[in-house]
């Protein structure tokens, strides 16, 4: 059973779509379930020179929990510096959604990994 928060983010996903002039893109897939997540980042520097996630969007082809974790991840990461965003742990997203059924916990990990890939993409540019 999904929590109300999961159902809310699944039915009304936040920050769904693409950023055409994104500064970085991260894509990951889970070969077992076939779900794919893509994260787009737009960044700018704050006064202290840290990179801040000004905008973040996602495209997810996958299960309801994958949509909900992508949506929640974008809310958690938006406005954070890269350093702060990297502190989001694999299961923090599931926790923020009030929990996920055990077989769906990997959806939280996939969302985490998609953001990590996007940040890596930015840092290696
Ligand atoms: Fe694999 Fe949701 S079932 S990401």
What is the mean pLDDT of the segment spanning 82-90? 98
Question: Which residues are the active-site residues?
Answer: 33, 107
Atom number of ligand 1 nearest to Cα 103: 3
The architecture CATH gives domain 4-123: Alpha-Beta Complex (3.90)
pTM of the predicted protein model: 0.97
End-to-end CA distance of the chain: 41
What is the mean pLDDT of the segment spanning 27-48? 97
Say how many residues make up the chain: 125
Which stretches of 21-63 are DSSP H helices? Answer: none
Confidence tier at 119 by pLDDT (50, 70, 90): very high
Contacts of 3 (CB under 8 A, 6+ apart): 97, 98, 99
Would the pLDDT of 125 be above 90?
no
CA dist 25 and 10 (Å) reads 22
Q: What's the CA-to-centroid distance between 16 and ligand 1, angstroms?
A: 17
For residue 100, what pLDDT is reported? 98
The mean pLDDT value of the chain amounts to 98
Atom number of ligand 1 nearest to Cα 34: 1
Atom number of ligand 1 nearest to Cα 30: 1
Nearest residue (by CA) to ligand 1, atom 1, is 33
3-state SS assignment for residue 15: coil
The model's pLDDT over 47-84, given as tens digits with 9 standing for 90+, comes to 999 999 999 999 999 999 999 999 999 999 999 999 99
CA atoms within 13 A on the CB side of 59: 10
Domain edges within the chain: 4-123
Q: What's the CA-to-centroid distance between 44 and ligand 1, angstroms?
A: 31
Answer whether 57's CB lies under 8 Å from 16's CB: yes
């Amino acid at each position: 059973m999904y929590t109300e928060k999961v159902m809310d983010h699944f039915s009304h996903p936040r920050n769904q779509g693409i950023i055409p002039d994104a500064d970085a893109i991260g894509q990951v897939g889970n070969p077992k379930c076939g779900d794919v997540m893509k994260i787009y980042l737009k960044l700018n520097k704050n006064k202290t020179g840290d990179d801040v996630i000004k905008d973040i969007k996602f495209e997810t082809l996958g299960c309801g929990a994958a949509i909900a974790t992508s949506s929640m991840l974008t809310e958690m990461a938006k406005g954070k510096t890269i350093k702060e965003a990297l502190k989001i742990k694999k299961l923090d997203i599931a926790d923020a959604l009030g929990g996920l059924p055990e077989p769906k916990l990997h959806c939280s990990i996939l969302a985490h990994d998609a953001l990590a890939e996007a940040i890596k993409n930015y840092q290696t540019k």
